[in-house]
Structure 1
Amino acid sequence: MQVKSFFTERLKQARKKMKISQKDLGINIGIDPSSASGRMNHYETGRHMPDIDTLKKMAKELNVPVNYFFCESEESATLACLIDKLDDEGKCKLIQSLESNKD
């Protein structure tokens, strides 16, 4: 049973942005070369969901935070990536700014 989700779309989007094939992504995260393409295809089509360790490896290889894969909108995905690039001080400043603008 294949299930399209935000995850499948984000994974494919991030992989294509990095200009990397399914096979190469799989190999780069430690999947055996003989099954790398097939496994990555199963993830992108929603046939299977990766475990958290594999998900973290994919995120690192694709230069996105793990939560990026589950963002519902392009804006949320962009924010997730931008926030991830901030240092702790920058994140604290952003939190303070957002909290002061709640009302």
Structure 2
Amino acid sequence: MLSHRLKAARLRANMTQEMLGVLAGIEEETARSRVSQYEGGVHCPTFQLMCSFAKVLNVPESYFYTVDDNFAEMILDLYLKYKNSTI
């Protein structure tokens, strides 16, 4: 998982670390500190938790794992176009 993408997606969604953590299923008491540790690369969340983050942040799971930043943005654009076309 590329930690800087988690932070970028959270900021794009205009969420606090605590809000993201709670919405993804982390206990409120530890949500902010755990998300902070994930964003800082101190700890790596499970794939299941990353799937929860992706759902809350409205991004595909692959966005967090693609190494190339430009390709990750292309994946995100494609995902958003697809989601908007199916609504």
TM-score computed with the length of structure 2 as normaliser: 0.84
| Superposition misfits of 4+ residues, deviation over 6 angstroms | none
Query: How many positions carry a matched residue from both structures?
Result: 82
Which whole-Å CA distance do the structure 1 matches of 2:19 and 2:53 have between them? Answer: 11
CA contact (8 A) 2:5 2:63 kept: yes
Structure 1: runs of 5+ lacking an equivalent: 1-5, 88-103
Is 1:24 aligned to residue 19 of structure 2? Answer: yes
Aligned residue number for residue 76 of structure 1: 71
C-alpha displacement of 1:52 = 1.0
Supply the AA of the counterpart residue of 1:17: R
| Structure 2 SS opposite 1:36 | helix
Supply the AA of the counterpart residue of 2:24: I
Supply the AA of the counterpart residue of 2:10: R
Is 1:15 aligned to residue 10 of structure 2? Answer: yes
Aligned residue number for residue 93 of structure 1: none
Is 1:40 aligned to residue 35 of structure 2? Answer: yes
Structure 2: runs of 5+ lacking an equivalent: none
Is 1:65 aligned to residue 60 of structure 2? Answer: yes
TM-score computed with the length of structure 1 as normaliser: 0.72
